[in-house]
Amino acid sequence: MPTATAPTGLIVLFLLFAPAAFCQQNLFNMPSGEITRKGRVFYQHQLNVHERYLESKGHFVYGLGKGFEAGVNVVGKGFFFTPQWRDFYGDNPDRPSFYPFIMATTQKGFRVTDYLDLNIGFQIGANVSRRVRRNQDPAIFGFGLAVWHFAKGSRLVGGFYQSNQMFVGTGNSRGVLLGYEYKLSKRWYLMGDWISGRNDAAVAVIGGMFNVSKRIQFCSGLLVPNPNTPKPLGVVLELNLLGWDLESMVQKK
């Protein structure tokens, strides 16, 4: 694999501000089922820290109204930090997924009752690495979710996904999504999610969230890969920037 070194400070700045997995508002790695309100924006940046490398995943979403939102993201951008700094990318034709990608994405939410929402979403994109040949199929990821709001500020999320090897690599291309968010207090939440399967996206994350202010949230958790999958154990660090005041949003629900 070719290497490319860069000053550590520049790489850290890139990881903090460059966009990149699911573009919708997320728990950790799966959509939360929350739709961004019309005219509002949501940005989420996630760092997955493994033993030898970092993955940088950021999501930008804009609310279109009538239950729709759309956004753009770059999937799978990262860096090895040992034995030296170098790009992290996928280019092995015998073991896709090929990353990083630029992805366009959209999601539609349906209110069924005061306690139940249904969501469908889809994203499609292309590999942007110069090291991967350009005649690859597009990467796709689609999902359907049911969201049960069982208490104020708390939810259970479950559904399914359908993808392809370009996006999730070898193994299964469809599976189950499960997640939860439980409000402990005004500032503290328990949070976690799980993606089933034996592919590169098949992991569980167990952790929590802290409301730093009305528009800033910090999340952290332990990333545990499913058995017989390629991703190693890791730690997830996540920052959410909201385009609205959190308290006023809660009062409207």
Quote the CA–CA distance of 26 and 240 in Å, as a whole number. Answer: 10
Identify whether 103 is part of a domain.
yes
pLDDT tier at 20, thresholds 50, 70, 90? very low
Quote the CA–CA distance of 135 and 132 in Å, as a whole number. Answer: 9
Identify whether 94 is part of a domain.
yes
Which has more confidence, 24 or 71? 71
Identify whether 222 is part of a domain.
no
- The model's pTM is 0.82
pLDDT at position 139, please?
A: 84
Identify whether 198 is part of a domain.
no
Number of domains in the chain: 1
pLDDT tier at 131, thresholds 50, 70, 90? low
Q: Could you tell me the residue range of the domain that residue 12 belongs to? A: 8-181
Average pLDDT over residues 205-214: 96
Identify whether 119 is part of a domain.
yes
pLDDT tier at 6, thresholds 50, 70, 90? very low
**Which range (127-131, 220-224, 241-245) has the least confidence?**
127-131
pLDDT at position 18, please?
A: 37
Q: Of how many residues is the chain composed?
A: 253
Identify whether 211 is part of a domain.
no
Identify whether 95 is part of a domain.
yes
